[in-house]
Structure 1
Amino acid sequence: MARIMAFDYGTKRIGIAVTDPLQIIATGLDTIHPQYIVDYLKNYLQTEQVERFIVGEPKQMDNTPSQSAMHVKGFVTILTKNFPQIPIEMLDERFTSKMASATIAQSGMNKKNRQNKELVDTISAVILLQSYMDRRLF
């Protein structure tokens, strides 16, 4: 089986998570600046097989697109152009950053590590990916 990869897109950082080849466990992979994402993925895909991209869809509480939705749409366009063979699914990402921050706070990390925005973005991607995997089971 191939892996599934999830992205928590931001204009400063993209949190990336990936499943194991059996698609059982979601794990944080990295945090990358958006300008380097295509090269990063091309390099990653040389050694790993990915069957699907999951991209967090930013929405407001009333289910309308948030202000950052246009940036995510541009990111999806870049993925589609550079990796046309990999299907992309959008998944509501509301509360993933808050859930990631809460997870980090409960982990017992020191204050400096808890404020690490890259860690928050990576864990947000893990939460997004785990949510996708849980949804597939039902």
Structure 2
Amino acid sequence: ERVVNPTISLWDMKAMEPPQQTTTSGEDMPSLVGVKSIGVDYGLVRTGVATTVGYDPQPLAILSDLNNTQVCDKVLQYAKSEQASKIILGLPLHKNGTVAEQTNLTLVLAQELAQAALATLGPMVPVEMWDERYTSKEAAARAHAQDPNRFLYGSLDADAACIILEHYYHDHGLGRITVPVIPESLRRECLHQFETRQSLEEERRSNAMQEREERMQRRKDAIARSQQKDQEEQTRRNLSGGSKKKKKKKKKR
């Protein structure tokens, strides 16, 4: 069961964020080459999902008519199948950067997603939020430029998720907000769930490997018995053939 802490705000999250490197020197920027991420453009009706390895985002899916728990489960499935090391969730704000109604709804999802990710994928796959202002308009403009006749309604969410990833990688993730799992007791519980899940998966892998080895051994034993039977049959034939030759020689005399 996921317990979302309703008291944490965007400003609390920003206050918890450790200092980020702000140098403008390209050489000093943290490289995201080869870092695989899942991008999420969350909406109450539709949620766009995209993926990227380095700086080449690609749309994955548009999730429709799902509640928060279902959205989290789907996003985590994609994160696991894509072997992502980050989940980047778009953060909707007003044009002037202030909190909008959709901001608070997204914060609720962000906390549930961070909790589920920690319990399922572990602490090495953080959930981070990224300013998504104008991404939907940019996605629409790009789609219209590529195909002026394209029907845009309900088809741009995954494209917007791609743009979220594109901007995140272009800015080297500077300005991100890592979604914490708090209080500490909840974080420990999620870690315990992850460790338990890991232990069960390791046990299943070990059992599967043992069963596979036992099947291989049974096949080897069956092949060995078959070969031994063939050798015994060949030996009997050889002995029988030698006896017949001796009888023929006696008749000639």
* TM-score bucket (shorter structure): 0.7 to 0.9
Of 5, 13, 32 in structure 1, the residue corresponding to residue 63 of structure 2 is 32
Pair 1:18–1:45, CA change in 2 (3 A): closer
Question: In structure 2, what residue type is equivalent to 1:3?
Answer: K
TM-score (norm 2): 0.49
CA contact (8 A) 2:91 2:132 kept: yes
The structure that is strand-richer by fraction is 1
Q: 1:114 is matched with which residue?
A: 151
CA contact (8 A) 1:7 1:17 kept: yes
RMSD: 2.0
Pair 1:60–1:89, CA change in 2 (3 A): same
Of 80, 87, 90 in structure 2, the residue corresponding to residue 56 of structure 1 is 90
Pair 1:43–1:63, CA change in 2 (3 A): closer
Question: In structure 2, what residue type is equivalent to 1:17?
Answer: A
Q: 1:129 is matched with which residue?
A: 165
Question: In structure 2, what residue type is equivalent to 1:14?
Answer: T
Question: In structure 2, what residue type is equivalent to 1:92?
Answer: D
* Distance (whole Å) between structure 2 residues aligned to residue 2 and residue 137 of structure 1: 12
Task: List runs of 5+ in structure 1 lacking aligned partners.
Answer: none
Shift of 1:137: 8.4
* Distance (whole Å) between structure 1 residues aligned to residue 95 and residue 35 of structure 2: 34
Q: 2:129 is matched with which residue?
A: 90
Shift of 1:108: 1.5
Shift of 1:121: 0.9
The secondary structure found in structure 1 opposite 2:164 is helix
Pair 1:137–1:42, CA change in 2 (3 A): closer
Query: Are 1:12 and 2:45 an aligned pair?
Result: yes
Q: Deviations over 1:41-84 (max 9, x none)?
A: 34334433111111111111221111101110011011111101
* Distance (whole Å) between structure 2 residues aligned to residue 101 and residue 58 of structure 1: 17
Q: Which structure is richer in relative contact order (CA contacts within 8 A, separation 6 or more)? A: 1
Equivalent pairs, count: 133
CA contact (8 A) 1:101 1:114 kept: no
CA contact (8 A) 1:2 1:49 kept: no
Runs of 4+ in 1 over 4 A off after TM superposition: none
CA contact (8 A) 2:55 2:166 kept: no
Question: In structure 1, what residue type is equivalent to 2:110?
Answer: V
Question: In structure 1, what residue type is equivalent to 2:85?
Answer: E
Task: List runs of 5+ in structure 2 lacking aligned partners.
Answer: 1-33, 175-253
Pair 1:120–1:51, CA change in 2 (3 A): same
